[in-house]
Amino acid sequence: MVRVEDLTMVYDEKAGPVLDKVSLSVSEGDIHGIIGRSGAGKSTLVRCLNRLVVPTSGRIEVSGHDITTLSPGATLRSARRDIGMIFQHFSLMSSRTAAGNIALPLEIAGVPKEEIRKRIPVLLDLVGLSNKADAYPVELSGGQKQRVGIARALALDPKVLLSDEATSALDPETTEQILSLLKDINRRLGLTIILITHEMDVVRAIASHVTVLEHGRVVESGPTFDVFAFPKSPVARSFLSSIVAHELPPQVAARLQPEPSGETAPVIRIIFTGDAAEEPVIADLAVKFGIRASILHGRIDYIDERPLGILTLLLPEVGDRLPAVLAHLSSLGLHGEVIGHAVRSSAAGTRRAAS
């Protein structure tokens, strides 16, 4: 549905490229999150996608149209109709009612009055605002204003909905409601959605795919679950730290040493995905290897409705059986890796001695 190839945008030669050979593709019906810190180039990418700016080089195809080469005119206008936009600050006209705001793009496109009159209630119903047709923006809450924004964006039946930080100005509860509305519309209409955000929670809530941008470059791109389970870049890891336990709490991290010493035992991280999430790993270590593993940290989350567990274990008395332990985990379909070495806490040792 959307294909971006080697997209480069240079505003200022001295400052260097703001987008640097960005490539990504979005299939029909996907909800594709694009996440990056402030300044990563997200808004520039949005402006290229809806052709508010012409990129320095590269290609963008939306629903089969190469929008980078279209010259202003009828074809560009029709290509633009394929993309609906919603914004952080809603951008509603204060002098128009909810119905009037939704009618605006239809009026501009020259849709006959009678047809507009029929279309408005359908759109209001789609976003759950049937009783607010005559309300002005000042009479609406933030969430309701964004619902009007969504209805307006969908008025011309776009193929892709582009959302630039559409929930960033909303409180967490309203954010959740707007995200579930977007997911619902995605399911009911098969609408492709591109979600630009700086919040991993937004991606986690509804995105099937995610691309991580850093300094104008794509540092990861793929199914959300895969990126959450096996992030390759430090940026993705840090975005994920509030959601998935890839990064250890500082108290635990401070105990890790890169190299073993006489006092330490290996610390392993096990990543459980899908069906393997329910393997009885701790019991297996005890029964098969006689290892009394200590849990240093652990968490199970649901990403795209699939379980993702990350467990950090200290393995005392493992000795030279470590490769066998890792091989056993791998035979269960679990990913295990040694992330460091730590001394067992003295409290645990004392309790054991006492018993």
Ligand X SMILES: Nc1ncnc2c1ncn2[C@@H]1O[C@H](COP(=O)(O)OP(=O)(O)O)[C@@H](O)[C@H]1O
Interface residue list for ligand X (CB under 6 A): 11-12, 18, 36, 38-44
In the complex, the smallest distance separating the C-beta of residue 152 from ligand X, rounded to whole angstroms, is 22
In the complex, the smallest distance separating the C-beta of residue 166 from Mg ion, rounded to whole angstroms, is 12
When CB distances are held under 5 to 8 angstroms depending on the partner's kind, the choice from ligand X, Mg ion, none that residue 11 binds is: ligand X
**Rounded to the nearest 5 degrees, what angle is found at the Cα of 284, between the Cα atoms of 280 and 289?**
165
How far is it, in rounded angstroms, from Cα 148 to Cα 136? 10
Q: Residue 35: is it exposed, middle or buried by C-beta count within 10 angstroms (0-12/13-18/19+)?
A: buried
Q: Which lies closer to ligand X via its Cβ, residue 32 or residue 147?
A: 32
Q: Which lies closer to ligand X via its Cβ, residue 177 or residue 233?
A: 233
How far is it, in rounded angstroms, from Cα 37 to Cα 98? 33
Among 23, 25, 43, 294, binds Mg ion (CB under 5 A): 43
Neighbouring C-beta atoms of residue 319, cutoff 10 Å: 11
When CB distances are held under 5 to 8 angstroms depending on the partner's kind, the choice from Mg ion, ligand X, none that residue 85 binds is: none
Q: Which lies closer to ligand X via its Cβ, residue 39 or residue 249?
A: 39
> Which residue carries 């759109």 as its tokens?
123
In the complex, the smallest distance separating the C-beta of residue 69 from ligand X, rounded to whole angstroms, is 22
Q: Which lies closer to ligand X via its Cβ, residue 40 or residue 129?
A: 40
CB 120 within 8 A of CB 133: yes
Q: How many residues does the chain have?
A: 355
When CB distances are held under 5 to 8 angstroms depending on the partner's kind, the choice from ligand X, Mg ion, none that residue 302 binds is: none
In the complex, the smallest distance separating the C-beta of residue 36 from Mg ion, rounded to whole angstroms, is 9
Q: Which lies closer to Mg ion via its Cβ, residue 42 or residue 255?
A: 42
φ and ψ of 102, to 5 deg: -70, -30
